[in-house]
Amino acid sequence: MYRASANSSSEILEKVRLMTNDIYAELRKVEEQYMAEVLSQTPEERMAVYKDRMPKADEFYSKREDDGRIPYVYFQRSRISGLKNYGVKYAEGCHPDGFYHYFSSPKKIHALVEEHGKDSIDWNIRRRFDNFEFPYNIFEACLIEEAIHRHFEVVGKDDWANGHIALSTGY
């Protein structure tokens, strides 16, 4: 008679489910802490943060018109390998409604989608930035991405697709 091993598929699936719940809870905690900090600051304090963290951004975006874009941050996790990715989308004309047509930047995510299909990846929009004026919506989206990357220390980890912290490379 067959006896299920200690690593039966139901036990493995339960461990994956618990790990997934843990990552979402941790993401939510860091995102909420970040937004609480943002909302507690005056506009002048936020401008100081922008100038410090993104010194070229104000000059760059002051030359552009608001095109109605709604920046957002997102999280992806492979159901096959557990590979994770936390990213930001702020390109001209972007909108969260178009997210499921956007595959993200990391080549590792593209390879998983190509090999196993789009359904092998959990796709989750974590936060929309339609409550900030342009271009500050872009700044906040980039800064929260950086906060998540730093919190989870994603650079160089095998279970994260993110290869760098965006703001540290000049966004």
d(CA 74, CA 24): 12
Give the pLDDT confidence score for residue 59 in this predicted structure: 67
Give the global pTM: 0.77
Region 59-84: mean pLDDT is 83
Q: What are the sequence ranges of the domains in the chain?
A: 9-169
d(CA 126, CA 143): 14
Give the pLDDT confidence score for residue 1 in this predicted structure: 34
